[in-house]
Amino acid sequence: MNFIQTRGSESNKPTSVTFSEAILSPIASFGGLYVPETLPNLGEEFLNKHLNSSYKELAFDMLSRFEIDIDAEVIKKALDLYDKFDDKNNPVPVVKIKENLYISELYHGPTRAFKDMALQPFGVILSSIAQKRDENYLILAATSGDTGPAALETFKNRSNVKVVCLYPNGGTSDVQRLQMVTEDALNLKVIGINGVFDDAQNALKMLLASDEFKTSLKKHNTLLSAANSVNFGRIIFQIIYHIHSYLELVRQGAITQGEKVYLNVPSGNFGNALGGYYAWKMGLAVEKIVISSNENNVLTRLINNGKYDLRHCEVISTTSPAMDILKSSNIERIIYDMFGSERTKELMNDLEMNNFYELTPEELVKLQDSFDADFCNGDEGKKYIKDTFKNDGYLMDPHTATCMKSFNSCSNPAIKTIAYSTAEWTKFSPVIANALTGEVDTKDLKALVSISKEANLEIPSMIKELFNKKIVHDVIIEKEDIQKEILKFL
Ligand SMILES: *Cc1c(COP(=O)(O)O)cnc(C)c1O
């Protein structure tokens, strides 16, 4: 199967590209994103067949239906990385929290957040494409916390790939920073920037667009790529767990095959929710996808009033920082799927020129047929963390907690919900300690210990060990010096 871009014009369709090409240059030449030409239809037969499959068997069969230009052996090797998760027989546990609410836990990978679900296998795929082409790639990543550790972990010691990861000094949690600066491998470089996340991200965007930088890289026999969340090589792995979670509910006897469920997704850049939407289009029985946001509620507003409005809007720092995003890139793929490429181009141009676009009333109805949304602020989120722990004995992180409000406000109580948990409590411990005990200004280590006592939970070894590991990357620089520092590394 080939890939086309979201912003092509109907009369002048750009050529389609292979999966490998879509991975290596995730942003299409016209400024849009790559989407599959068609989605495979899985049908009931596929779902019945996989009722008793392992996660990896389901994943392999689903990926095969996409007919991508990656050898079966490579795909198998990529999927083997799910063996590193807590329980290799069940990398994504789905647990019942209360009547009609099930939580699919996407955080059991090596860096304890859901980015591992896609980035773990993605690292193998990208490295194998680079080896096959006999090319060397530099992956640039800017992170506010979760993508950086997951990208470093997956590319560590992989052939033909080097990673430079930029993070805002002081802008991540201790655990997230330690996960990056203690990651020891010759092909990895972690750089702290004096600035905020946007500075790191803007610096990265400038480098990705700079011909001068690309020419300098060529001298080092290196090409540039990115592992950001619009890369279809990540999205494809995010379809699988939605299907898996549904089948888990059937296995547990909670639903019958074909019964519709809500998928409730804590959303930022919309990769997770897009995976659910594609699973639905491929044949999963879904009532609606419920989008949960924090105070940066552009998505909630879009879905409720049809306006994507960034005018007079600034990013707010919240207790769920991985969702502190205003330009939610993957929504473009939904717009394309519903309204076609001409309209996508028009709306995305509006957004770039005016920081605003508006759907027609008919378009809004169509969007609302598939999506519903609500947002939850930090105080509400902390109350959900505390109450869910007290009443249901379940401890959730602040991103997952945003689903609790929309579960109450957006769902028909007769229909079951699968909500997605995107991070383990260990990743955002100061907020959770504050929610449970009221303690303030606690650093990660102290918060981890206090939650562990309060909730009677073990701190996982990979988190505990971080605090004793040697710091390998201690470079903190001004943003003007990033390019120089990267070339020095190469
Ligand atoms: C990345 C992330 C999200 C947002 O996911 P999107 O796919 O970008 O919508 C939510 N929670 C956590 C913990 C994350 O790391």
Give the Cα separation of 312 and 301 in Å (integer).
Answer: 14
Q: Is residue 295 one of the residues assigned to a domain? A: yes
Residue 235 beta carbon below 6 angstroms from any ligand 1 atom? no
**Is the sign of the CA dihedral 340, 344, 347, 349 positive or negative?**
negative
Tally Cβ neighbours within 10 Å of residue 136: 18
Give the Cα separation of 286 and 466 in Å (integer).
Answer: 40
Range with the lowest mean pLDDT among 21-25, 163-167, 248-252, 270-274? 21-25
Q: Is residue 151 one of the residues assigned to a domain? A: no
**Total count of domains within the chain:** 1
Give the Cα separation of 40 and 283 in Å (integer).
Answer: 9
> Taking all residues of the chain, what is their mean pLDDT, rounded to a whole number?
94
Residue 270 beta carbon below 6 angstroms from any ligand 1 atom? yes
Residue 267 beta carbon below 6 angstroms from any ligand 1 atom? yes
Q: Is residue 148 one of the residues assigned to a domain? A: no
| Matching residue, tokens 């990979």 | 462
| Matching residue, tokens 């997952």 | 400
Strands 3-5 and 34-36: antiparallel
Tally Cβ neighbours within 10 Å of residue 71: 11
Q: Is residue 70 one of the residues assigned to a domain? A: no
Ligand 1 pocket test target in 272, 302, 324 with most atoms within 8 Å of CB: 272
Among residues 137, 160, 129, 131, the alpha carbon closest in space to that of 18 is found at 129
199 alpha carbon – ligand 1 mean position (Å) = 20
Residue 422's alpha-carbon distances to 39, 241, 268, 357, in angstroms, are 26, 12, 11, 29
Give the Cα separation of 269 and 315 in Å (integer).
Answer: 13
Q: Are 144 and 321 in contact (CB under 8 A)?
A: yes
Residue 232 has pLDDT above 70, yes or no: yes
| Matching residue, tokens 């991200």 | 201
Give the list of residues 6+ apart from residue 138 with CB closer than 8 angstroms, or none. Answer: 161, 162, 163, 164, 217, 222, 223, 224, 225, 486, 490
Give the list of residues 6+ apart from residue 317 with CB closer than 8 angstroms, or none. Answer: 324
Residue 307's alpha-carbon distances to 52, 350, 359, 360, 431, in angstroms, are 43, 11, 6, 9, 32
421 alpha carbon – ligand 1 mean position (Å) = 10
293 alpha carbon – ligand 1 mean position (Å) = 10
Range of the domain at 367: 80-112+233-466
User: What pLDDT, in 10s, does the model give residues 23-57?
Assistant: 998 877 778 899 999 999 998 999 999 999 999 99
Give the Cα separation of 334 and 320 in Å (integer).
Answer: 24
265 alpha carbon – ligand 1 mean position (Å) = 9
Give pLDDT, residue 12: 67
Residue 9 has pLDDT above 70, yes or no: no
Span 208-219, average pLDDT: 90
Q: Is residue 60 one of the residues assigned to a domain? A: no
Q: Is residue 191 one of the residues assigned to a domain? A: no
Q: Is residue 254 one of the residues assigned to a domain? A: yes
Give the list of residues 6+ apart from residue 173 with CB closer than 8 angstroms, or none. Answer: 145, 427, 428, 429, 430, 444
Token couple for 204: 């990265």
User: What pLDDT, in 10s, does the model give residues 51-107?
Assistant: 999 999 999 999 999 999 999 999 999 999 999 999 999 999 999 999 999 999 999
CATH of the domain at 266: 3.40.50.1100
Q: Is residue 390 one of the residues assigned to a domain? A: yes
* Helix 115-133, helix 147-155: angle, nearest 10: 40
218 alpha carbon – ligand 1 mean position (Å) = 33
User: What pLDDT, in 10s, does the model give residues 281-328?
Assistant: 999 999 999 999 999 999 999 999 999 999 988 989 999 999 998 989
Strands 307-309 and 356-358: antiparallel
- Please give the model's pTM, rounded to 2 decimal places: 0.96
State how far Cα 368 lies from the chain centre: 23
Residue 146 beta carbon below 6 angstroms from any ligand 1 atom? yes
Token couple for 30: 């016209």
User: What pLDDT, in 10s, does the model give residues 445-477?
Assistant: 999 999 999 999 999 999 999 999 999 999 999
